[in-house]
Amino acid sequence: MKVDNFWNGDSRFYFMCNNGHKKKNKDGETEDDHLEMVQGIGSKKNVFFACPKYWKYDEEHELGFLDGEHQCKNGLNAQEAEKIIGVLEKEYAKNILFEETVEQNTSEGVNFVEYLKNRDILVGVKLDGGLRPLAGFEDETISVGLDSLDQKLEKYSKMNIDFAKWRVAFEINKEKGTPSDAAIEANLRILAQYAKACQKYGIVPIVEPEVVYSGNHTIKQCREITEKILKSLFKELEIFKVDLAGTILKTGMVLAGSENEIQSSSREVARETIAALKNSVPKELAGVVFLSGGQTPTQATDNLQEITNLGPFDWGVTYSYARALQLPALQAWAGKAENVSQAQLLFLERVAANSHALYKN
The one catalytic residue in 36, 171, 208, 306 is 208
- With a CB cutoff of 8 Å and minimum separation 6, the contacts of 168 are 128, 131, 141, 142, 143, 187, 188, 190, 191, 208, 209, 210
Residue 66 has phi, psi (to 5 degrees) of: -100, 120
**Is residue 185 annotated as part of the catalytic site, yes or no?**
no
Tell me the sheet residues that pair with 317: 288
Q: How far is CA 171 from CA 67, 110, 115, 296, in A?
A: 15, 41, 39, 19
Q: Is 101 helix (H, G, I), strand (E, B) or coil?
A: helix
- With a CB cutoff of 8 Å and minimum separation 6, the contacts of 345 are none
Give the CA diameter of the chain. Answer: 56
**Is residue 208 annotated as part of the catalytic site, yes or no?**
yes
Element (H or E) spanning 168, and its range? strand 163-170
The one catalytic residue in 94, 250, 272, 306 is 250
Which residues are marked as active site?
208, 250
